[in-house]
């Protein structure tokens, strides 16, 4: 097994075997594929939202909002737009982190540059941290819903 020594910035060297480099490159390729696919899907979602918002289904959408929310359709319409913008922003950042991981790790392994690999792993950490925090928020929200449902069930 062949080892390449990469300076880790500490007193010890990091040794990455050629098979580990192959695994990293494979992970980087799949990460890049998933990130690019996610960006394309996000672009399609934004395009479809714009079509509904101002184009093809805009009038039907607004009429449905007016029927569903009565006089508050303008407020609901604005809330939906803000919600969708936040949703796309939440979708963008993990894709960006994943893409940066893929490109930096590939460049770092191919050029044996530890700083690029380190920066790539920093982006992978950010990717997982984002999903960890997001998962904790969703679980807390589900917990609140369950507590609320139990309270409402007990009262009625």
Predicted pLDDT at 72: 55
Phi-psi domain of 112 (left: phi exceeds 0; alpha: psi -120 through 50; beta: other): left
Reported as a pLDDT band with limits 50, 70 and 90, residue 120 is very high
Q: Region 134-154: what's the mean pLDDT?
A: 95
Q: What percent of the chain has pLDDT over 90?
A: 54
Which of these ranges, 39-48, 65-74, 79-88, has the smallest mean pLDDT? 65-74
Predicted pLDDT at 68: 57
Helix (H) or strand (E) holding 8: none
Does the pLDDT at position 147 exceed 80? yes
Does the pLDDT at position 11 exceed 50? no
pTM, entire model: 0.74
Task: Give the C-alpha distances (Å, rounded to integers) separating 83 from 54, 118, 138.
Answer: 17, 35, 16
CA 118 from chain center: how many Å? 20
* Chain position carrying tokens 């790790």: 105
Mean pLDDT of the chain: 84
Give 35-56 pLDDT, tens digit per residue.
999 999 999 998 888 877 776 5
HEC string for 53-102: HHCCCHHHHHHHHHHHHHHHHHHHHHHHHHHHHHHHHHHHHHHHHHHHHH
Higher pLDDT among residues 55 and 107, named by residue: 107
């Amino acid at each position: 097994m062949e080892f390449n020594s990469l300076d880790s910035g500490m007193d010890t060297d990091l040794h990455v075997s050629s098979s580990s480099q192959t695994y990293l490159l494979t992970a980087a390729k799949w990460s890049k594929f998933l990130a690019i696919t996610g960006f394309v899907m996000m672009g399609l979602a934004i395009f479809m939202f714009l079509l509904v918002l101002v184009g093809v289904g805009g009038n039907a959408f607004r009429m449905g909002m007016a029927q569903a929310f009565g006089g508050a359709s303008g407020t609901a319409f604005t809330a939906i737009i803000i919600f969708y913008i936040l949703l796309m922003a939440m979708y963008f950042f993990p894709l960006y982190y994943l893409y940066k991981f893929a490109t930096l790790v590939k460049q770092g392994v191919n050029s044996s540059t530890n700083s690029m690999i380190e920066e790539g792993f920093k982006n992978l950490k950010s990717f997982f941290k984002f999903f960890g925090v997001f998962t904790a928020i969703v679980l807390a929200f589900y917990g609140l819903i369950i507590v609320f449902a139990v309270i409402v069930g007990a009262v009625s």
